[in-house]
Amino acid sequence: MMGGAKAVWTLVILLAYGLLCLWSFRHALLARLQGAKRLSEGEDSFVLVAYASQSGTAAELARRSADMLQGHLPVRLMPLNQVNDGVLSSAQRALFVASTYGEGEPPDNGLAFQRRYLTNAATLDLSHLEFAVLALGDRAYQRFCDFGRRIQAGMERLGASPLWELTEAASDELWTPDGKVAHWRSRLGSFIPAAAEVVFAEPSQSAGDREFGQWRLADREHLNPGSLGEPLFDLWLTPHATPASWCAGDIAVILPRNDAVRCATVAAKLGYSSGEPVTLDGVTRPLCDWLAERQLSNVDDDIGAEPSLSAWLTGLPTLPEREYSIASVPEEGAVRLLVRQQRDERGQLGLGSGWLTASAGTGDSIALRIRSNPSFQVPEQDCPLILIGNGSGLAGLRAHLKARELAGATGRNWLVFGERSRLSDSLWNEELVRWRDSGHLARLDRVFSRDGDSLRYVQDVLAAEADELCRWADAGAIICVCGSLTGMGSGVQTALEACLGAERLDELKMAGRYRRDLY
C-alpha cells in the first residue's frame, strides 16, 4: 500500500509540474503574441535602437538603423546610458550597436548601462524582449568586441531572446559589399513589409562626413631630430576647394597611397609600364594610379592569376584608412597633424606615416575627410580644463588650447605632457611657453622620461599633484587625455582612480567631464 501511495504522489507531482510548465509556456506565448500585435499596430511599444560609441562609428550605424526602420515601425534612438527599466519594459525589440573601448571597456556613454544591467545583481525580467547586438571592435586587442559580448550575455541572462546571433565587426569589415553592415541591414529588412522601400545609406551616399576631399600638403617639418624615439613630423594640409569646418577634438581620416617606386616595381613584374592605361568601372587611369590605392603586401604571390589586368586589379583590396588627431582649428586655415613614423618588424615605414612623412611631397594631393569625434570635443564653457597626453597626442590637446584662446575662454588650463628628452622632444616649445607666460596655461607640467636617473611619466606627475588635481576637479574641471592607449592611457587611468576614486572617475565619464582620444 505504501508503495502504491508513493507512486500516486509521484504521479500527482509530475502532473502538477507539467501543468505548471504548460501554463508558463502559454503565458509567455500569449505575452509574446500580444507584444508582437502591439508592435505591428504601433501601440504602446517601439523598437529600441541604442548605441554605445566612443569614436562615433557605433552612433552613426545606430542612426542609420533607426532611419531604415522609421516610417515602418515606431522607433526610439538613444545612447545606451539613457536606457532604463521603463524603456526596456516598453520595448518589444531592442537593437544594440556597441563598440568596445581598448581592452574591454565600455564607451563612456555605455558605462551606466553596464552597471544597471550587465552584472549578476541585475534582476529585471526581460522575457518579453527580442534583441540583437552589432558589436564593433579592434582585432589588435585581445578582448575583441568584449563589451558587445557582455550586452549579449546580459540580455540573455535577464530572459531576453536573441533575434539572431551576435554580429561582431572590425572597422575594415563594415562596408565591403558582403561585409557586416550588409549582413546587419538584411536582417533589419525582415522587420519591414516586403513591398516597402528600404533605405540604409552607404558611405558614398551619406553627406559630408564620409566623403574624401583633396587637400594639399602645404608644409612638413621634422620636429625631433636626434630623439631617442622615431621621427615626429608637423604637417599642414590646406583644402583644394571650399574651406572645411571642424571642432577641436575631431579626427582627420587619410587615404594613404603606396609609393611610386613600389608601384613601378609591381607594374614591371606584370609586364607593363607605369603609365599603362587601365579602365575600371568606366574610368581610365594609368596603372600606377590604380596600384597606389591597393594593398600590395602579398601581390607577388598571385600576379597574373586573373585572365585580364583589370580583373586582377579589381580583386586587390583597397588600402585601409588611417586616422590622426587634428592639432589646429578652422580659423588657422589648415588641418595640422602631428605624425610619428611607424616601422614594421622588417624596418619598413608604416602605411599611413610613411605616406605622410616620406612618400608624399610638398604640394602633393592628400585624400582627407574629417570625422566628428564628439567624445573628445569640449563643451563651450569657461570651466577649468586639464589636458593630459604624450607624444603625438599633443595634437589633440593643442587644438583645445588654441580654440579656447581664440574664443577668449576664461577657464583655467593645465597641460601635463610627456616625451623622452627635453633637448630633442620639446615639441612646439615656443607656443607652449608663450601660453604659460601669458596665463593662458595656468600650469604647464612637462615630464621627460629619459632625463634623469629614473624613468618618470605623466602619471607620476598626476600622483605627485593629487591634491591640486582634486581641487581642479572640485571646481568643475573637464579632463582630456590624448595619446597612446597602452602605457600612458592605462597609467593615467590608474593615477586618476588613485587620486579621485574609481567611482568618482566613472561619474566624471558619465557627466562628459573625462574625455579620451587614445590609440
**Fold of the domain spanning 213-371:** Elongation Factor Tu (Ef-tu); domain 3 (2.40.30)
pLDDT at position 44: 58
How long is the chain?
519
- Contact between residue 122 and residue 116 where contact means Cβ atoms under 8 Å apart: yes
State the pLDDT at residue 374. Answer: 86
Residues whose CB is less than 8 angstroms from the CB of residue 503 and which lie 6 or more positions away in sequence, other chains included: none
H or E stretch covering 325 = strand 322-325
Q: CA-to-CA distance for 177 and 487, rounded, in angstroms?
A: 37
Query: Which three three-digit cell numbers place residue 250?
Result: 575631431
Matching CATH number, 22-205, of 3.90.1300.10, 3.40.50.360, 3.10.450.200, 2.40.110.10? 3.40.50.360
Nine-digit cell at 13? 507531482
DSSP H or E segment with residue 13? helix 2-41
Same topology, domains 22-205 and 378-518? Answer is: yes
Written as one letter, the residue type at 496 is: L
Write down the domain spans for the chain. Answer: 22-205, 213-371, 378-518
CATH for the 378-518 domain, from 3.40.50.80, 3.40.50.2000, 3.30.450.90, 3.40.50.720: 3.40.50.80
CA pair distance 420, 271, nearest whole angstrom: 48
- Please state, in angstroms and rounded to a whole number, the distance separating the CA atoms of residues 362 and 220: 7
Mean pLDDT by 10 residues, the chain (519 residues): 54 56 48 41 74 88 91 92 94 95 87 93 94 91 92 97 93 70 86 60 44 94 95 96 91 94 90 92 92 81 65 86 95 97 89 95 95 88 94 97 94 96 96 97 95 85 96 97 90 96 92 91
Question: 220-229: buried (b, 16+ CB within 10 Å) or exposed (e) per residue?
Answer: beebbeebee
Q: Locate cell 507531482: which residue?
A: 13
The distance of Cα 141 from the centroid of its chain, to the nearest Å, equals 13
Name residues whose C-beta falls within 8 Å of residue 343's C-beta, 6 or more positions apart in sequence. Answer: 230, 349, 350
Give the DSSP H/E element, type plus range, for residue 93: strand 93-99
Integer Cα distance of 278 and 286 in angstroms: 6
Q: Which three cell numbers stand for residue 445?
A: 607640467
